[in-house]
Structure 1
């Protein structure tokens, strides 16, 4: 067997073509090549030999005729493009400005199709020419530093077709494109493919600076026309559409312009078009859209139009971010909440008579009874909770839980709640109503849910010290009258308040619970004491309240006790003093209640009434059935203050169980009224609980007294805070001291800088502080 591994194989070589002899005719090669080029342009290239025509071009370049070949090929292309333009484009020029959009669309479509046909024929011929002139591109074009044949063909197309000087091809084509866009904007269907193919030509052509012709010939004109269109469109829509429809149209325009740019224009045009739509349809009209009468943001919220609100939110936040959209939307949101809040404040103000008091009747203005005032107070809280729930849903589903909108809603809710000076009192009354024993229609879980929501309103209150005073007062009544729904519910509410405001806020309230427990032990010892001594005629159950814990111990209304009660009170005082020396007991009849048996003509009933009511009823014990006592008689005998006396008489004579008769009959108590015992009273119940309004809205006079006490407490708190800060810092400037005191007291109330200044002056007089020489700072005096 033979082997060929050691024998090297010769390297193949490409032999250069044999040089032509002196008889080679350049002109003859060009004639043949030019004929082939024309055949290619006339789409008859199937009869031609690629090798022969390649050889013609090769020979011309090889024999230094590249410049001759290059220029003559360009001339042939120029002539060909002129022929195509005159054949397919010029005849398709628009005949006139037709009013019919269909006719305009058809004319424009014909012109764009003609241009595309010329482009396709030109490109097809140029690709074939590039193949047979490849040697010229590789050798001559490089050495002569001229464009290769295909780039040169694109330049010729731009100069001899689009920028043709003898006919307005450019103007006609651009008008056709813009006309098609306008027809589509007017709501008609166009041939988008024809527009897309036409625009693609401009995207493939470049000018001398290598910039796409689309951005010099089409985009500027398109954007200018777009701007004009949307200026007119904005005026038309504002006159014919409501806010919701206007925003729908804007959204449709934005979507259609974006789709148009991406489909048959250029994606880079989309931001510019979007900016034009925004600048003309949205930015100048933001406030107009938000506040549009009957259809703006406020009306959308009223009608719960979540989709429309969401559309406004998206357009204002996503489109108009840099032109004030978010600010205008949040402003409208705040104003909507504040207007609703002001309406809630006005319609549920007990001093205004509530929503029903629109005019005076028969020369007398309607006066609210305590029950009506309480109902309005509770309705204010419920309406506020409903308003917050409404905007919570809007925030979640329409505003996509946007943080900035949440802050705007929170700020607006806090503003309207604090516009009502009675907000702390009303919220405390609402909690009181939900924590009372025997509340109908709500389970424990439902009550807990309501209380959790109420805590959200409590967070908005700036005067939390005012709420604390009212809440302690209402809690005291619930505990003393045994009206709490449960001890767990009460302590659960205290736990919620402690989480919000800290231990100091609930310390005294927890002391009240401790007093109730200790009082039970005291009464057990008192009963043992009575077993070894003479018991009074009236059995009493006493709750001993620590004066610093309970809010009403120093301000309760007093009265003249009947002898029976004085005896019982004296017995307990003697017992208590034997166990606690140095303590002084002050009786609080306003917080007590009594079980008393009353004999009527029909039968006896066991009544549960307040201590004041008992004192009043005992006055009628020695009065004949047909006799009566005047208001002044009762007042002089009992010494009960007027507000409390009127409240008790209204309960006894004007409520469901009329133990007394009022003369003349009416729902309101007057100082000129007189009263008699209703011996004809009947009821199927043996035990009857005649409850006064345990928690009521304060009168103007009571409110002034409460505010005065709160102001005194605030002075003490401010003094303590100033001293505490100065003791720590020793030396501090005035502004720094005011800021620090404001910060530390903010969890209780918002102190006025003028008030802080007055407290500083008072502390200087009491020599806790002194001014430094610069008169702008203070020293702490130990």
Structure 2
């Protein structure tokens, strides 16, 4: 069976539908005119589409494309002449500018101050909206033209071509500048709180966004032409507004508040009817004008600027300033500088006030005033101890103030906090008495000021002390004073609580380590061991007394010792390496009365029996005694220093009515003359404690003076205390300060030696510069090591053959095992 082969034949040309361009274009042209006249209801879009289709397939796409553009251009030129130009008022950006845009500040000032041509904007938007509708309809007719010709020829779609024609005919005409002027005028009205037509602004902005800018491919007229003018006009507006505000109200608070409102309003305005792309650049310009350029001068206004806010606790203004500055910087250098200057200024005022108070107290003590002024000076001047405590309290109050500012207004910014702390450290360490002052403050609180306070209040006070302690550079000097004050509290039983004392030591240990607190803990250990030892001693004495009574012929008959009255002693045995030098080296030689000497020897035998090989050195200058004294009218129980008790006991069995001279008391007691004078002044000169009678009566004690027991002494109190005459101030004098620093300097030599040896023992071989830096780093928690001191100690260790210089490189050290 044979199969027939299929044949494919070319289609015949349909000459009946062939239509040339000349005959088809008039149809399309008439239709486009009808569309522009808004009379397209009678048009058959299907027929028009077929007509355009026929033209394109007949290779007349280019002619059709250009003809449509010419038709649209002609219509827009007509619209420009008939509808737009009559509304044109002639506002220009720049008289000499006939181009696309203007960028000079003077030109934007002129256009922005002109009344906006709202009517031109309204008509332009009408023409624009009509044009867009017409171009959509024309695009529907010429859909095949876009699909075939536009793609092949790489030309814009007919709708996009229509937008370009609108730009060239309408927008590139004289009305462009007046449109910009009208928009900026409306914006200015809106900024000034005057009612502005916001919808029309948004519509014009939308038009500018859709119109392409030939100068910048891919960007719209809004971005390429209008934004630069918008930014410039905005900056100029806020420059003028800020300057006018500062002239009218030279007030930082008002400026900060208004700036905050301006920025918030501008952000809302941009989000409402400008493009999102404008927001960031607009913000940068406004922030630069209002914040970066003007804040430094505004905040420095002396009457009501940043420093005034600090003084008057205007935390909200400070917070607002921080929030605004956060928009332009992450380092806050301006705020840091202001805060640091404020801290140092106030800190130096505290230092100067303390110095002036100390000088006034010194003059009051030296009697530099006349009699009238002297009495006044005594009432007005403070004791150096009170001045020291007041200085610490003022510094802590200042620290609390700035901590509150940082917490409530500056969002606890770490950089600002560190800068403020550096400023505190700077002015605090300019007071060369800071270590002593802080130790006195702690001493005062741990003795009496914390009495009656809750645990939280006590903890808060201790934490404040630690805050100030962190700022001190020479912590070894503080350690010296703290040990001395702690020793007096422990030996005189002045501390409120051992738990509070130990809590304070624990806090110091956390800050600087065990090397700082090991001796302090050793002092507590000595006191605890002494208490336990005294219990054993008293129990042993009671057993001995019981045995003696049992051996006596008549039971209950008192021994010779009990007839006189036993002396009950309490001894604190101190380890010399734990306690401060002031305690260890303050031993006073004296002759004890027999009854005291017997008890002293008894305790010494008891102690050495348990601790062989040790030696006790008695220090009566730090002790106290409770003595019952019978006077003519009454028996009093008196607490007095041990040396005062030794002097008083010289008068117990004295029958000589002529009394004892100063020289006789000196020979009998062997107390040093300066100490003897002090205690005689306490017993015979002090108005409330004249247990002895001095002849002749005067403030000063002379070798020729005589002393008698004052049997007529009277006091309203059964129990009272005799205080040793000494300076009422616990603050060191200049000579005492110099001596303390000399002792600290000697201790530092040993610490530097130890640090050098530790470093070299680890490294074995090291360059001089690196060794110095490592030693400084190791000692920075104790004190700020001086390079000259380190060098001298290196030389000393070289002489003692702990180190040696490298034979080839003199700057290299080798460790000698």
TM superposition score category, shorter chain reference: 0.7 to 0.9
User: CA distance change for structure 1 residues 232 and 103 in 2, over 3 Å: closer, same or farther?
Assistant: closer
1:3 alignment partner in structure 2? none
1:113 to 1:574, Cα distance in 2 relative to 1, 3 A: same
CA distance in 1, matches of 2:260, 2:536: 80
- Judged with a 3 Å threshold, the aligned counterparts in structure 2 of structure 1 residues 522 and 600 are, in CA distance, closer, same or farther, namely same
> Would you say the 8 A contact 2:211–2:220 is kept in 1?
yes
CA distance in structure 2 between the aligned counterparts of 1:726 and 1:265, rounded to whole angstroms: 70
Deviation (angstroms), 1:116: 1.1
Q: Can you list the C-alpha shifts for 1:484-510, whole angstroms capped at 9, x where unaligned?
A: 222222222222222222223222222
Conserved in 2, the CA contact under 8 Å of 1:732 and 1:777?
yes
2:340–2:423: 8 Å Cα contact kept in structure 1?
Answer: yes
1:194 matched to 2:200? The reply is yes
The alpha-carbon deviation at position 26 of structure 1 amounts to 5.3
Deviation sequence 1:498-529 (CA, Å, 0-9, x none): 22222232222222222223323443454435
2:350 aligns with one of 341, 344, 351: 344
Greater mean deviation of Cα atoms: 151-160 or 608-617: 608-617
Asked if residue 588 in structure 1 is aligned to residue 619 in structure 2, the reply is yes
- What does 1:428-577 align with in structure 2 at a 5 Å threshold? 428-436=439-447, 439-527=450-538, 528=540, 531=545, 535=561, 538-551=567-580, 552-556=582-586, 558=588, 560=590, 563=593, 569=600, 572-573=603-604, 576=607
Aligned residue in 1 for 2:103? none
Report deviation, 1:114.
2.0
DSSP 3-state at the match of 1:43: coil
In structure 1, how many angstroms separate the alpha carbons of the residues matched to 2:153 and 2:42? 33
Q: Cα–Cα, structure 1 residues 608 and 138, in superposed 2: closer, same or farther, change >3 Å?
A: same
Alpha-carbon separation, structure 2, partners of 1:261 and 1:748: 58
Q: C-alpha offsets along residues 715-744 of structure 1, whole Å, 9 cap, x if unaligned? A: 122122223333443332211221222222
Does 1:80 find its partner at 2:109? no
The 10-residue stretch of structure 1 (73-82 or 516-525) with the greater mean CA deviation from structure 2:
516-525
Question: Residue 270 of structure 1 corresponds to which residue in structure 2?
Answer: 279
CA–CA separation in structure 2 for the residues paired with 1:19 and 1:457: 106
Do structure 1's residue 225 and structure 2's residue 241 form an aligned pair? no
What SS does structure 2 have at the residue aligned with 1:607?
strand
Q: What is the deviation of 1:390? A: 2.4
* Partner residue in 1 for 2:317: 308
CA distance in 1, matches of 2:317, 2:336: 16
User: What secondary structure, in the 3-state scheme, does the structure 2 residue paired with 1:381 have?
Assistant: helix
Who is 1:8 aligned against?
none
The 3 A distance-change label for structure 1 pair 652 and 426 is farther
Q: Quote the Cα distance in structure 2 between the aligned partners of 1:298 and 1:641.
A: 57
Q: Residue deviations 1:302-345, cap 9 Å, x none?
A: 22222222222222233134xxx612222222222222222233
Greater mean alpha carbon deviation, residues 755-764 or residues 598-607: 598-607
SS of the residue corresponding to residue 478 of structure 1 reads helix
Query: What is the CA distance between 1:220 and its match in structure 2?
Result: 1.8
The match for 1:214 among 202, 218, 222 is 222
Q: Distance in 1 between matches of 2:380 and 2:675?
A: 12
Contact 2:91 2:181 in 1 (8 A): no
SS of corresponding position for 1:586: coil
Q: Report Cα offsets for 1:586-613 as digits up to 9, x if no partner.
A: 3323321121234566633322233355
**How far apart in 2 are the matches of 1:665 and 1:105?**
100
Q: In structure 2, which of residues 746, 750, 756 is the aligned counterpart of residue 722 of structure 1?
A: 756
Matched length: 756
Q: What are the within-5 Å matches in structure 2 for residues 326-337 of structure 1? A: 326-337=332-343
Is the contact between residue 770 and residue 780 of structure 1 (CA under 8 Å) also seen in structure 2? yes
Structure 2 vs 1, CA of residues 550 and 210 (structure 1 numbering), >3 Å: closer, same or farther? closer
**Using a 3 Å threshold, how does the CA distance of structure 1 residues 562 and 107 change in structure 2: closer, same or farther?**
same
Quickly say closer, same or farther: Cα 1:437–1:732, change in 2 above 3 A.
same
* Partner of residue 167, structure 2: 158
What is residue 140 of structure 1 aligned with on the other side? 149
Alpha carbons of structure 1 residues 216 and 233: separation in structure 2 relative to 1, 3 Å = same
Q: Are residue 712 (structure 1) and residue 734 (structure 2) matched?
A: no
| More displaced 10-residue stretch of structure 1: 389-398 or 597-606 | 597-606
Quick one: which of 720, 732, 742 aligns to 1:688?
Answer: 720
- Deviation of the 1:153 alpha carbon: 0.6
Which of the numbers 252, 274, 280 marks the counterpart of 2:289? 280
Alignment check: 8 A CA contact 1:250 1:281 kept: yes
Contact 2:83 2:123 in 1 (8 A): yes
User: 1:751 & 1:368 partners in 2: Cα distance?
Assistant: 43
Offset of residue 158 of structure 1: 0.3
Distance 1:345 1:626 in 2: 55
Cα distance in 1 for residues equivalent to 2:683 and 2:85: 102
Is 1:699 aligned with 2:733? yes
After superposition, the Cα gap between the structure-2 partners of 1:593 and 1:118, relative to the gap in structure 1 and judged at 3 Å, is same
Map 1:55-454 → 2, pairs under 5 A = 55-94=50-89, 107-164=116-173, 168-208=174-214, 209-239=217-247, 240-321=249-330, 326-349=332-355, 351-353=358-360, 362=370, 372-436=383-447, 439-454=450-465
CA distance in 1, matches of 2:295, 2:447: 49
Deviations 1:611-662 (A, max 9, x none): 355457668988999999999x999998668699769958996798787999
| Other structure's SS at 1:749 match | coil
Instruction: Say which SS state the counterpart of residue 813 (structure 2) adopts.
Output: strand
Residue by residue over 1:459-481, the C-alpha shift from the partner in whole angstroms, topping out at 9 and shown as x without a partner, is 22222222222222122112211
In structure 2, the gaps of 5 or more residues are: 1-10, 93-108, 549-558
